[in-house]
Amino acid sequence: MPGTEQASQSHPDSPPVIPGSQRKRFKILWGEIVVPLLIIIGVVSTILGTIGFQRYFTEMGEAHNFGTSLYSSLGLLKFSGGDLPSPIPWELEVARWLSPVVTMYTVLLGLAAVFRDQIQTLRLRFTSNQVVICGLGQKGLLLAKNFHASGQTVVMIEKNSRNPSISACRELGISVLLGDARDEYTLRKARVQRAQSLIAVCGDDGANADIAVKARRLVSKREGQKLSCAIHISDPRLWVFLRQREFNPDQNKAFRLDFFNIYDHGARQLMREFPLLPNTKGTQEETPHLLIVGFGSLGEQIVIHAARQWYPHHEKNGGKLRISVVDPDAQRKIDVLCQEYSLVEKTCEWGVYPVDIDCPEFHHAEFLSSKRKQPGISFIYVCLDDETIGLSSALSLLEQTRASDMQILVRMTEDVGLASLVQGSKRTVGSLDRMHVFGLMERTCKPSLLNDGSHAAMARAIHEEYIRNELRKGNTPETNPSMVEWEQLSEEMKEMNRNQADDIGIKLNAAGCDIVPWYDYGADQFTFKPDEIELMSKIEHERWCNQRMEQGWNYAAVRDDKKKMHPSLLGWDDPRFSEVEKEKDRNTVRQIPKYLALAGFQIYRITSSGTMV
613: in domain: no
Averaged over 133-159, what is the pLDDT?
Answer: 94
Predicted confidence (pLDDT) at residue 19 exceeds the cutoff of 50: no
pLDDT value at residue 282: 39
Q: Parallel, antiparallel, or unpaired: how do β-strands 255-260 and 554-555 relate?
A: unpaired
pLDDT value at residue 283: 44
pLDDT value at residue 280: 43
pLDDT value at residue 17: 41
From residue 463, alpha-carbon distances to 351, 460, 468, 595 in Å are 40, 5, 9, 10
pLDDT value at residue 294: 94
Tell me how far apart the alpha carbons of residues 13 and 149 are, in angstroms, rounded to a whole number: 18
Instruction: Check if the beta carbon of residue 499 is closer than 8 Å to that of residue 224.
Output: no
Averaged over 232-249, what is the pLDDT?
Answer: 85
Assign 3 a pLDDT band (cuts: 50, 70, 90). Answer: very low
Q: For residues 164 and 151, state if they share a domain.
A: yes
9: in domain: no
What is the residue type of 426? Answer: K
Domain end residue (candidates: 215, 239, 260): 260
pLDDT one-digit tens code per residue, 306-339: 998 898 888 888 889 999 999 999 999 999 999 9
Domain end residue (candidates: 208, 242, 260): 260
Averaged over 94-106, what is the pLDDT?
Answer: 87
Predicted confidence (pLDDT) at residue 527 exceeds the cutoff of 80: yes
* 3-state SS, residue 415: coil
CATH number at residue 74: 1.10.287
Predicted confidence (pLDDT) at residue 106 exceeds the cutoff of 60: yes
pLDDT value at residue 347: 93
Instruction: Check if the beta carbon of residue 324 is closer than 8 Å to that of residue 348.
Output: no
CATH number at residue 391: 3.40.50.720
Identify the CA nearest to 72 among candidates 84, 60, 85: 84
Q: For residues 253 and 275, state if they share a domain.
A: no
Q: What is the mean pLDDT of the chain?
A: 84
40: in domain: yes
pLDDT one-digit tens code per residue, 508-518: 999 999 888 88
Averaged over 495-514, what is the pLDDT?
Answer: 89
Q: For residues 127 and 85, state if they share a domain.
A: no
Residues in the chain, how many? 613
Domain end residue (candidates: 112, 143, 164): 112
pLDDT one-digit tens code per residue, 276-295: 876 544 345 578 899 999 99
Q: For residues 189 and 275, state if they share a domain.
A: no
* 3-state SS, residue 551: coil
pLDDT > 70 fraction of the chain, expressed in percent and rounded: 87
Instruction: Check if the beta carbon of residue 184 is closer than 8 Å to that of residue 218.
Output: yes
Predicted confidence (pLDDT) at residue 7 exceeds the cutoff of 50: no
Helix%, strand%, coil% for the chain, nearest 5: 50, 15, 35
Instruction: Check if the beta carbon of residue 272 is closer than 8 Å to that of residue 358.
Output: no
10: in domain: no
Predicted confidence (pLDDT) at residue 498 exceeds the cutoff of 90: no
Q: For residues 304 and 159, state if they share a domain.
A: no
Predicted confidence (pLDDT) at residue 416 exceeds the cutoff of 80: no
Task: Please tell me what DSSP assigns to residue 8.
Answer: B
From residue 414, alpha-carbon distances to 300, 331, 529 in Å are 20, 30, 49
Instruction: Check if the beta carbon of residue 213 is closer than 8 Å to that of residue 245.
Output: no
Q: What is the pTM of this model?
A: 0.75
Distance of CA 480 to the CA centre of its chain: 32
Task: Please tell me what DSSP assigns to residue 256.
Answer: E
pLDDT value at residue 432: 73
CATH number at residue 551: 1.10.490
* Other Cβ atoms closer than 10 A to 42: 18
612: in domain: no
pLDDT value at residue 251: 64
pLDDT value at residue 428: 45
Predicted confidence (pLDDT) at residue 610 exceeds the cutoff of 80: no
Q: For residues 80 and 213, state if they share a domain.
A: no
pLDDT value at residue 586: 92
Predicted confidence (pLDDT) at residue 117 exceeds the cutoff of 80: no
pLDDT one-digit tens code per residue, 21-40: 566 567 667 767 888 888 89
Residues 6+ apart with CB under 8 A from 109: 34
Q: For residues 330 and 408, state if they share a domain.
A: yes
Q: For residues 71 and 199, state if they share a domain.
A: no
Predicted confidence (pLDDT) at residue 374 exceeds the cutoff of 60: no
pLDDT one-digit tens code per residue, 563-601: 999 999 999 999 999 998 899 899 889 989 988 887 888
Q: For residues 433 and 474, state if they share a domain.
A: no
Q: For residues 443 and 584, state if they share a domain.
A: no
406: in domain: yes
Predicted confidence (pLDDT) at residue 131 exceeds the cutoff of 50: yes
Q: Peptide bond preceding 288: is omega within 30 degrees of 0, i.e. cis?
A: no
pLDDT value at residue 555: 93
Burial 220-251 (b: 16+ CB within 10 A, else e): eebeeebbbbbbbbbebeebbebbbebbeeeb
Number of compact structural domains in the chain: 4
Q: For residues 29 and 104, state if they share a domain.
A: yes
Lowest-pLDDT choice from 27-36, 154-163, 346-355:
27-36
318: in domain: yes
**Can you spell out the DSSP letters for 136-180?**
-SHHHHHHHHHHHHTT--EEEEES-TT-THHHHHHHHT-EEEES-
Tell me how far apart the alpha carbons of residues 442 and 244 are, in angstroms, rounded to a whole number: 27
Q: For residues 305 and 213, state if they share a domain.
A: no
Predicted confidence (pLDDT) at residue 299 exceeds the cutoff of 80: yes
Domain of 178? 117-260
Averaged over 113-140, what is the pLDDT?
Answer: 81
95: in domain: yes
* 3-state SS, residue 69: helix
